[in-house]
Structure 1
Amino acid sequence: MDENQSAFSRRSALKGAGAAAVLAGTAVTMPNVSAPSARAVPPPPGRARGREVAIFGGGMSGLAAAQELIERGFRVTVYEPSYLGGKAFSHDVPGTARGGRLALPGEHGFRFFPGCYQHVPDTMERIPVAGGGNVRDRHLINVETAVIAFDDAGYAPTTAPTSLIGFADHAPAIMSLDNLRNALTTGLRFIVDVPPHELAYFVTRELIIATSCEERRLGQWEKQSWMQFVKANGKSPAYQRYLVGALTRALVAAKSHTASARTIGQIGLALATSATGLIGQYGTDLVSGGVDRILNAPTSHAWINPWVRYLRGRGVQFVMNEAVADFSVSGGRISGARLASGATVTADWYIASMPIDRLKPLLTPSLVNADPSLAGIRRLQDDWMVGIQYFLSRRTDLPPSHIAALGTPWALTGLFQARPWNVDFAKTYGDGRVRDCLSIDISEWEKPGILYGKPAKRCTKREIAAEVWAQMKRAMNSGGKPVLRDEEMVTWSLDPGITWSPQIENATPLMVNTAGSYQHRPQAYTKIPNFFIGGDHVRTNIDLATMEGANEAGRRAANAILAAADSPAAAAPVFPLWELPMLDPIKAEDRNRYRAGLPHFLDF
């Protein structure tokens, strides 16, 4: 019996939300834990049920669910307490527009679309833009080089191509004497600091993930931290700092000593696989690239605003400045939702599509009694990762590049925006003085900095701005030619989600995939027949707190409603993380070994 037939037989035996389970999970050999399936089962013929959907939260997951449902004939209302787009929202820096120009563009953090993302580009392709075309084709572009910098003496920042076209387009910068000298200096130092046998060992650990069966990934590697899995203890300081710690922070904003080895290993495998160009579904290749993509304008301008216009045009209703305060449960179902304003919302289907810090207070005894598995959400953890933008009077000489400042105390990554956006900043934004923007993500808020000896969570706004600038200068200016110069900074803007009242607070924390947390993460469906969950904390194939995970979760919630409502509409596509088919026989053998209680054959 194939997966679709098996899932269909299960669905025919279940009721309500249980029917939706076949759209979001496939059982594996771990009790009470299921892994998401990429396939969706067409619902059997049946009478149409209610089609009124209330979505609480207008972030990535809520908007994705709204799109899938409105395109399938449901009536959708989205309730949002602040702004649409969630963490993908970008904002105007207040008071910076002059002379008919736009305000300086601020972001929660720069947007990064790896080649393994599939749901977000698929959504973008279905959003029309003014003048013709769609968001993906008009605004999603390849970043053709990368800058690797190290926060350590003896290393120098190096620009490397991410594709053959990237090399051809930016050969003068890549092959310049300065960059070649930096690459040689850094390469020799890295070989000295990280012994070859440790580097080989690190690669072997990733191969273990690649050839492990799903049961072992969930049953063994999920329970270990990434640092435990790669056996960092006893290795060289550079192995621990760069290969294990800094690389993890730079790529997925996770802490190696707490992050799930399964999550980090799988996303690392997906990033590496997409870079090879061997997986056609990723649409990447070594010639034209696509491994690293960004938007060519501020996120809200390029993506969120056209998306909202499209959804409104299709009939989605948006109720702004309204947050849900409580869900009423009666007879095992949601009978209504009370808003913070005191109004009551009634619908046929309810989706709680909000971050875990806002979902946890809603987990009342009546809600958890109706579905005890929801109590696990309280055990999920979040962390801080927000952005700061530095507006500069000189346009950078670097090719369009993402910058990984490995080893910086606050785990900084960045992007100069003028060149990849192909925009004249001075004519477009601000008062005419700004010619470039360095957008930086701050991923570590609990380690001391280099200026004040304090973690970011104990700094003032100005101290954070000064500290991040100092750390980036130390990493980027170590190659002899200064990239960042104090006199060129015009102004800066920290994510407005960070506030002091009087202590520092963050309105937009990010869920983190800690070791063992998968069992506590909810499915998109619940045991409450008309209650569903969206957000990047939902179990998804991408298995990482990202806009891609949130988008996938929104689709899963929509599919669960389609199933529960016996809708004849086709399910929204849900994509797996593609892996090389040639590894399937090794995974099958590992499944036999795991069931027999034996270790992975490379695990020594």
Structure 2
Amino acid sequence: MTEANSNSKLHSPNGFPRRSVLRGSAAAAVLAGTAVALPGVAVPSARAVPRHGAGRGRDVAIFGGGMAGLSAAHELTERGFGVTVYEPSRLGGKAYSHDVPGTARGGRLALPGEHGFRFFPGCYQHVPDTMERIPVGSSNVRERHLVDVESAVIAFDDAGYAPTTAPASIMGFVQHANEIVTLDNLRNAFMTGLEFVVDVPLPELAFFVTRELIIATSCTERRIGQWENQSWMQFVKSKGKSRAYQRYLVGALTRALVAAKPDTASARTIGQIGLALATSATGLISGYDAGLVHGGVDRILNRPTTHAWIDPWVAHLRGRGVRFEMGTGLARLTLARGRIGGAQLSSGASVDADWYVAAMPIDRLRPLLSPELITADPSLAGIHALKDDWMVGIQYFLSRRADMPPSHIAALGTPWALTGLFQARPWNVDFGREYGDGRVKDCLSIDISEWEKPGILYGKPARQCTRQEIAREVWAQMSRAMNSGARKILRSEEIVTWSLDPGITWSPSIANATPLMVNTAGSYKNRPHAYTSIPNLFIGGDHVRSNIDLATMEGANESGRRVTNAIIAAADSPARAATVFPLWELPMLEPLKQIDRDRYRAGLPHILDV
């Protein structure tokens, strides 16, 4: 019995987690990989994987040890393939966390830095499923380290608004009622609510809700054929609306939820992920392990990502026979008789495998797409048209523990689109005892999602700032939003130290080692499938077509499963397919989607699109 299957409570007899053993139409939807689990729906990302019948080899070379590469390695090794992962820098990719250099004292751990704080919404299915299959002692990563954050702080970068703490579920309200139902918070909520109603006219608010209803009741054909080719700002018809409609409903909400720019992001992508978030929160879909009653809408890891997840994952994969070659990456792929004949590493060594997986970000994949590879598969040329952007994190280590419930912070309207999280309380850790030199009692981890707009201190975008200027600017923006109520939440004198993602460098000019692909309008056609027309070459990463359709660790994990299924098909392997979860949608919407399908085929607009 393998270590992965030793916990009988967590696994079914065939060694797969019980929650992934689906039946009937749900199983059919999962194995088909359709975008939504409803009858008669298919999208380009869900095309059947072609069986090349090209061979039965079992040796797989995966180039890239990020989320996609590790996910593919996990699924393939469970199915008897021999896997070697080649990684030039660190395992975990954008999910890694790091020790802040020189901060460990007195037997404590170094202060924990992150590429950005973690957010696992209730509509994520692939990542939690993988976590459930990574053992940690007698438990697993999901049970031990994935925890609910049952409240949220909404702050606004505008006069008249005060930061408000709101429960994310009924359970969250019960757990934190004494902190939510306070005179201070109720006053803030009343002030902010009144200001919002004044600034965003009710007709505009109703119009915005109607636009999301249009997405919810649009057929898949319209989503792909029409909404994919509009930006979110165009779709919600922002032009001519109030400043608050444009700034908060359209701009800030989009940036806070999915870190996307509303003026360029695909309306289909934004609308569909917004629908998934809302659907998971209802608790009406059993496929989503979340709901307004019991919570799970917002989850985080309760320790630094590498400690809680990546290290146990890599140890588990090593135990199953996966080999890791560190310090070297893919430099060149050689084409021979229509197939990949070999690969050359940056170290100069050569790799000979049966199957080759390029599981790397688009900025590292593009230079490898030689003219001969694109000639062999012209669809790969679309990768050059994909766009990426910056979203990285900064951590402020504070001398006082935050006196607010575990909450994600959405600082709406801040120039640099800031979101954050105080970590000590949701981690349930004594920071002074666990990390640093004993002075740090909490960590405010903040994501910076906008690098092109001027800040409030220096009048410069983040890309033109020094490291020190970024730290001061982010603190100033977050403080202006969080301290606008009667109580001062952030105090500069409490900063012990801070750490910006080391992927940002200034030599000779500012650069980011970990850019993120962004789903711009019309970009879906340029995104690759997990398989290619080259029979033994496969693509993994958050840029691969997926059901989640967003550049996230969930999308990257899904791509690793799609790579696995493509290799199974190409090798004519009898192994069971890796589970690919759909985005579940409410069945009651299907009759309305069928009406829209008929209208779309007849060349008519959506019935609500007036």
CA RMSD, Structure 1 to Structure 2 (Å): 1.8
Partners of 1:531 and 1:601 lie apart in 2 by: 44
Aligned to 2:222: 216
1:64 equivalent in alignment to 2:66: no
**CA shift digits 1:172-212 (9 cap, x unpaired):** 11011000000000000000000001000000000000000
Preserved contact between residue 59 and residue 85 of structure 1 (Cα < 8 Å):
yes
1:36 equivalent in alignment to 2:74: no
Amino acid at match of 1:70: T
Which of 292, 311, 316 is equivalent to 2:298?
292
Aligned to 2:118: 111
**CA shift digits 1:462-520 (9 cap, x unpaired):** 00000000000000000021110011000000000000002100000000000000000
Partners of 1:37 and 1:170 lie apart in 2 by: 42
Unmatched runs of 5 consecutive residues or more in structure 1: 9-21, 27-32
Amino acid at match of 1:451: L
**CA shift digits 1:86-132 (9 cap, x unpaired):** 000000000000000000000000010000000000000000013x1
Local SS of the residue matching 1:568 = coil
Preserved contact between residue 150 and residue 171 of structure 2 (Cα < 8 Å):
yes
Local SS of the residue matching 2:459 = coil
Matches within 5 A, 1:292-371: 292-371=298-377
1:125 equivalent in alignment to 2:132: yes
Local SS of the residue matching 1:170 = helix
Amino acid at match of 2:293: V
Local SS of the residue matching 2:135 = coil
Which of 585, 593, 602 is equivalent to 1:579?
585
Q: Which runs of 4+ in 1 moved over 3 A?
A: 22-26, 38-41
Which of 530, 536, 553 is equivalent to 2:536?
530
Task: Give the fraction of aligned pairs with identical amino acids, expressed as a percent.
Answer: 76
Matches within 5 A, 1:83-162: 83-130=90-137, 132-162=138-168
CA gap 1:365/1:478 in 2 versus in 1, 3 angstroms? same
Aligned to 2:203: 197
Partners of 1:491 and 1:283 lie apart in 2 by: 37
Shift of 1:169: 1.1
Aligned to 2:514: 508
Aligned to 2:59: 52
Shift of 1:47: 11
Which of 464, 467, 490 is equivalent to 1:461?
467
1:163 equivalent in alignment to 2:169: yes
Partners of 2:336 and 2:206 lie apart in 1 by: 58
Shift of 1:37: 2.8
1:498 equivalent in alignment to 2:504: yes
Local SS of the residue matching 1:280 = coil
Shift of 1:35: 2.4
Q: Give the TM-score, by structure 2 length.
A: 0.93
Amino acid at match of 1:461: R
Local SS of the residue matching 2:136 = coil
Local SS of the residue matching 2:440 = coil
Partners of 1:277 and 1:127 lie apart in 2 by: 26
Which of 422, 444, 452 is equivalent to 1:416?
422
Partners of 1:122 and 1:169 lie apart in 2 by: 27
**CA shift digits 1:142-165 (9 cap, x unpaired):** 001000000000000000001111
Preserved contact between residue 49 and residue 569 of structure 2 (Cα < 8 Å):
no
CA gap 1:34/1:283 in 2 versus in 1, 3 angstroms? closer
Partners of 2:233 and 2:99 lie apart in 1 by: 39
Matches within 5 A, 1:468-479: 468-479=474-485
**CA shift digits 1:294-352 (9 cap, x unpaired):** 00100001000000000000000000011101100011100011111111101000000
Amino acid at match of 1:68: E
CA gap 1:24/1:160 in 2 versus in 1, 3 angstroms? closer
Q: Give the TM-score, by structure 1 length.
A: 0.94
Unmatched runs of 5 consecutive residues or more in structure 2: 1-23, 36-41
Paired positions, count: 577
Shift of 1:288: 1.4
Preserved contact between residue 69 and residue 85 of structure 2 (Cα < 8 Å):
yes
1:483 equivalent in alignment to 2:489: yes
Partners of 1:561 and 1:34 lie apart in 2 by: 21
Aligned to 1:234: 240
Local SS of the residue matching 1:499 = strand
